[in-house]
Structures are given as structure tokens and as C-alpha cells.
Amino acid sequence: MEKYAEQTQQEFEGWEEFFSKPVDEKVENFIRNQRIYDIIYAQQFDRSFLDYLCSLADSIRLLAKTKVGQSKLRHLLPHKRAMLYFVQPSTRTFLSFQNACHILGLSTSEIRGTSTSSEVKGESPEDTIRTFASYVDLIISRHPEAGFAEKTAWVLNQTEYPVPVLNGGSGPDQHPTQALLDIYTLEREFRTIGGLDGKKIAMVGDLKRGRTVRSLSYLMKNYQDVELVYVAPDVFRMKDDIKEFLNKHAIPYKETEDFESIMPEVDAIYMTRIQNEYAENPASEAETFPQFHLKTKHLSMIQTHCAILHPLPRRYEIDIRIDKDPRAAYWRQERCGMWIRAALIAYIFRVDGEIMDELS
Ligand code: NCD
């Protein structure tokens, strides 16, 4: 597709000042009528919200087991429309959000690359997003740039016709709805052993550029006595901002390059891939770091209840033969994503009460 002009970049007065504030001071901008309105950062969620959303997701799941229940769900939001603006590759986040919308009866439109939108004519991303707000009631975005969802929500909130913005991944920065589904999966996997409180979780791989482990780390402040173990090669260690957050909230963590040594002591292992799309030259990062892979021989070294998670897509980090082990939770995790996202959309449009009443 021919590009007619460089993308326009105009300055929004007040944006730089807003962007530079600490998240704690910014969250109120994304709340309306005492409810979270835009989902931008994982720090927006507290324990009661997380517990409520997990039980709402369970209820939606239960209702969806029957034809009658599915029909009730589909009749909750048939008058609403959502836009999926995914200009960075995505399979799960896109499909789970799209299907979550359809479960609740919303209709969806999509843009999956800037080459087919007016951005090739030089339109700024902010104007493109504002255009969506003219047609739909909800915008779900995935973008390669950190802070993109935040900026568009901030811009829309100053217009006379704002709509909620859900961050489906903003560069190497945050992926708050992935963190929600990770929590939902961990709570379910640990259902018979007291939930996530008191558990030790290893996060493994490219922790420097992986947004999922960053957002999930933020959520740990909501759980009692959780410990984290960051397992990464030196070049991909977790960044200092997250470690400062953990220190501030007195969440114990340690860092190691010796994956095998910590295997017997953790309750969950969260694997990630190398995020080389963020490298200057992705081909230059051909190294696969096999010491940070989970292999079949490790199955006898981890605890019998240890949950194995991965946000997916997977490369070589988990041997496919592990998929058959009951502790492999990543395919269940993928499905959890659709249910928790349906719960989130139901919450945003205030039909959660109707869902809960249906089952009470
Ligand atoms: C993750 C992402 O996009 O950050 N994928 C996902 O949303 N399930 C993880 C990844 O791409 O490695």
C-alpha cells in the first residue's frame, strides 16, 4: 500500500505533563461514576475488583454452558458496538476480545494494520482513534508504542463524545488484560490449595521487554505473602521500575540465571518468549537461550501442584511434550482470556449485576 505522507504529529497541550505524572496520580482520570472506565494500566485493579471480576467470569462461563444461557448473554449488549484497532500482530488477544464481545451480543469492527487506514494519508493516530469514537461504543487497541492507549484515552476523555479504551497491549510497556487473565488462571489452578495468596511464582525469559510479566508483577501487590523469582539471562533482566515497585510494596523477589535451582521451590512457572521484535535488528537476536527453556526432564523436578503458564505465542521455551502434563495450564489460560475479557466488558457496560442475578 502506497504511503502518501508521513504520519502527522501535532502536540496535545498538557499531554507531556500528564504522561510524566506517577500512575497513582493518573488513575482517577480513567474512572467515571465510581467505576473503572478506561483500562490502561494494571495498577488500576485492586483486590476486590480482581475477586469480583474472577467470579463474574466464572458466572459467564457457567451461563454459556447452555443454549438458553448463551442467548441470555447475547441479549445483554446487542445495542453496543466495539472497534478492535490492532496494529501490532495478535492472535489470542484479538480473537478472545472479539469473541468476548460476541458472547455479550456486541457487534465488532476491526483494523488490523495502519496500511489500510487513513494513517497512510498522514492522519495522526489520535485523529484515527477519535474517528472510531464517532461510530462505536468501545475501543480496544493494541499498538507497538508504549503509552499509546493511555494517550488516546486521555485525548478522547477531553472530547464531547468519549468512549472507553481498553489497552490490549502497548509496546513493551503494559498488557493489563493479559494480567487479568493470568490472575484468573492462577486463582483457578490453585482453587483447591487456597488460591494465589502465599504462593511463589517464577517468571522466566525476556523479562526486560515482556509486557505481560511487567503487568502481572504490578498485580502481585493485591495478594498476601506472594514471592516472585525472576529467572532471566543477564541481558533480559527485569527493569528497575518494577523492582522499585516491588520494594515499595514489600513484595519479596529474587533474581537468578539458574532456572533448575528454583524449580523445586515454586508453585507456578510463568514462561515467556524472547521479544526480539523490539530489537533494532531482530535477526541479530537468533540466540534461543536454552537454559531458560522448560524441558520434559524438568517435570520430575517441579512440584506436583506447580502450574505452568505462558501468555503464548510459544517458540522453544516449552517442549510440546509438556502439553500433555496436567500441570500445563497455558491452553486453559488462553480460554480464561476470553471469559475474563467478557467479564470486563460486562462490567464496563454495567450489565454485571444482571449476570450475577441470573445465577443467584
Ligand atoms: C503476549 C503479548 O502480546 O505481549 N501475547 C499475548 O497477548 N498473549 C506475549 C508475547 O507476544 O510474547
Our answer on whether the CB atom of 273 is closer than 6 Å to any ligand 1 atom is: yes
The single residue of 175, 208, 214, 310 carrying the catalytic annotation is: 175
Computed on alpha carbons and rounded to an integer, the radius of gyration of the chain in Å comes to 20
Q: For 10-14, 37-41, 236-240, 326-330, which range has the lowest pLDDT when averaged over its residues? A: 10-14
Residue 2 or residue 211, greater confidence: 211
Q: Is 92 annotated as catalytic? A: yes
Atom of ligand 1 nearest to the CA of 168: 7
CA of 79 to the centre of ligand 1 (A): 31
Our answer on whether the CB atom of 172 is closer than 6 Å to any ligand 1 atom is: no
Q: Is 249 annotated as catalytic? A: no
- What is the per-residue pLDDT across 245-282, written as a single tens digit (0 to 9) for each? 999 999 999 999 999 999 999 999 999 999 999 988 88
- What is the per-residue pLDDT across 70-124, written as a single tens digit (0 to 9) for each? 999 999 999 999 999 999 999 999 999 999 999 999 999 999 988 877 878 889 8
Q: Is 211 annotated as catalytic? A: no
| Sign, Cα dihedral of 130, 132, 135, 137 | negative
Atom of ligand 1 nearest to the CA of 89: 3
Residue 338 pLDDT greater than 80, yes or no: yes
What is the rounded CA–CA span in Å between residue 136 and residue 132? 6
What is the rounded CA–CA span in Å between residue 158 and residue 97? 26
- What is the per-residue pLDDT across 303-333, written as a single tens digit (0 to 9) for each? 999 999 999 999 999 999 999 999 999 999 9
Give the three cell numbers for residue 255.
533474581
Residue 225 pLDDT greater than 70, yes or no: yes
- What is the per-residue pLDDT across 127-170, written as a single tens digit (0 to 9) for each? 988 999 999 999 999 999 999 999 999 999 999 999 999 999 99
Give the three cell numbers for residue 17.
505533563
1 pLDDT band (50/70/90 cuts)? Answer: low
Atom of ligand 1 nearest to the CA of 334: 8
